[in-house]
Amino acid sequence: MRFSRIGEKYTSKSGILALMDDLGAALQGTDKVYMLGGGNPAHIPQVNEIWRRRMEEILAAGDEFERMLANYDGPQGNKAFLEALAGMLSERYGWAVGPENIAVTNGSQSAFYYLFTLFAGQDSAGKLRKVLFPLTPEYVGYADQPSEAGFFVSRRSVIDEFEEHRFKYRVDLDNLEIGDDIAALCVSRPTNPTGNVLTDSEISALSSVAADRELPLFIDNAYGVPFPGIIFEEVKPVWDRHIILGMSLSKLGLPASRTGIIVADVPVIDALSSLNAVMSLATGSVGQVITTPLLKNGEILRISKDIIRPYYKQKANKALSWIDEFFEGRVDYSVHKSEGAIFLWIWFKNLRVPVSELYERLKKRGVIVVPGQFFFYGLEEEWEHRNQCIRINYGQAEEDVRRGIEIIAEEAQKLHG
């Protein structure tokens, strides 16, 4: 059997495929596994109760359940959902958006694949247009999406070490070169894998640069405000005609509903709707129907602020305390400041080997993490730092996170110095 060039590209051993294979293999085994690797949100009891309540309401509401499951929505999304979200965004934040400015996709991953495909790649003249990531490391799920090489360009971040065992990445705005081959800028806020939150001033600067060059600025807001609110810094939600804002229902606690959201200017929404029609006919209805009344009455904001954000903040603080407890005096380490998302990013400054070897040793002891090198795609220069970091998910069961961190410290100590 022979695949096409693109088929061979997508079926090759990519970083994300290898990581997902490891996760799947670990879950199929019989030994104890400390699952600190994946991106699945935590099961928050109070939030799960809300989803159960909504399903009961849907079942009791005439034929709403049948319409949710047995009817196609339009390729832009569910009309009531689009209207409810547009109303919330315009009323709460004063954004000049209507339903025509919003499109739903079958997951945020699909949304960004569509955006990258729409704006970058070979243009009609045969020139390769690229997506620029002003901050690196960035989300590993983007890395293998392009169908051609050289699609992404990343800029090396500035590292600010501001207290013992803590640091933060910052956009190097003074050296942000944007060539004529750049088609769009892309950032996530908060950032997966690091939990970094770009400041309002950084976002403002990037927005100005993009607007001046008539380029779109993609902002992946899957963990941010207004929902799900897994963000521990007070920042201003932003949108403008040149900003393409990605949102999601996944980290609210509905990852299986595969509901990605894009807020953008009308021509972009029209293009995304066309792609939806071609690629998947329509969008999934379940997440949209569940959350529409919560958008209308503002409950989705209360859930985010009063339940989801405090839940993750408490878990992040506990995980940080365990890292300091088990790592102190054993390894030379620093942790990225926890500003949001559901991950902690650990920098081992003095390992004798790349973290890929630490990753393999941890797998043998049942601890699944994500090695950092996969998050530094698009860099045009070597950077030793890329082989010194790992990502862990702190949102899992507390006893598993604590014991997993203890094992990481034990194995890192063996490779230290």
Q: What digits encode the pLDDT tens for the residues 64-95?
A: 999 999 999 999 999 999 999 999 999 999 99
Contact 21, 27 (CB under 8 A): no
Contact 269, 85 (CB under 8 A): no
CATH of residue 120's domain is 3.40.640.10
Write the pLDDT tens digit of every residue in 90-133: 999 999 999 999 999 999 999 999 999 999 988 888 888 999 99
Q: Are residues 145 and 237 in the same domain?
A: yes
Domain boundary among 300, 325, 357: 300
Is the per-residue pLDDT at 417 higher than 70? no
Is the per-residue pLDDT at 265 higher than 60? yes
Is the per-residue pLDDT at 27 higher than 60? no
Is the per-residue pLDDT at 219 higher than 70? yes
Q: Are residues 106 and 146 in the same domain?
A: yes
64 within some domain: no
Domain boundary among 250, 265, 300: 300
Q: Would you state the pLDDT for residue 291?
A: 98
Of the candidates 247, 178, 253, the one whose C-alpha atom is nearest the C-alpha of residue 211 is: 178
Q: Given pLDDT bands bounded at 50, 70 and 90, which one contains residue 146? A: confident
Q: Are residues 316 and 262 in the same domain?
A: no
For the record, the structure tokens of 60 come out as: 């009791």
Q: Given pLDDT bands bounded at 50, 70 and 90, which one contains residue 145? A: confident
Owner of token pair 């390894």: 331
Q: Are residues 237 and 160 in the same domain?
A: yes
290 within some domain: yes
Q: Are residues 95 and 231 in the same domain?
A: yes
354 within some domain: yes
Q: Are residues 95 and 121 in the same domain?
A: yes
Write the pLDDT tens digit of every residue in 352-374: 999 999 999 999 999 999 999 99
Is the per-residue pLDDT at 24 higher than 90? no
Owner of token pair 């009323």: 91
Range of the structural domain that residue 109 is part of: 73-300
Q: Are residues 324 and 404 in the same domain?
A: yes
108 within some domain: yes
- Helix, strand, coil percent values for the chain (each to nearest 5): 45, 20, 35
Q: Are residues 286 and 383 in the same domain?
A: no
User: 3-class SS at 247?
Assistant: strand
Q: Residue 348 and residue 200: Cα distance in Å, rounded? A: 29
Q: Mention every residue, 6+ apart, whose C-beta is less than 8 A from residue 106.
A: 258, 259, 260, 276, 280, 283, 284
Q: Are residues 296 and 308 in the same domain?
A: no
67 within some domain: no
56 within some domain: no
Q: Are residues 384 and 243 in the same domain?
A: no
CA distances from 417 to 332, 353, 359 (A): 9, 9, 17
Q: Are residues 282 and 381 in the same domain?
A: no
Q: Would you state the pLDDT for residue 131?
A: 97
Q: Given pLDDT bands bounded at 50, 70 and 90, which one contains residue 161? A: very high
- What is the radius of gyration, based on Cα positions, of the chain? 21
Q: Are residues 279 and 151 in the same domain?
A: yes
Q: How many domains does the chain have?
A: 2
For the residues 250-268, what does the mean pLDDT come to?
96
Q: Report which listed range, 42-51, 122-131, 147-156, is most confident.
A: 42-51
Is the per-residue pLDDT at 227 higher than 90? yes
Q: Mention every residue, 6+ apart, whose C-beta is less than 8 A from residue 218.
A: 112, 115, 131, 184, 185, 186, 187, 244, 246
57 within some domain: no
Domain boundary among 285, 300, 315: 300
CATH of residue 35's domain is 3.90.1150.10
Write the pLDDT tens digit of every residue in 320-346: 999 999 999 999 999 999 999 999 999
51 within some domain: no
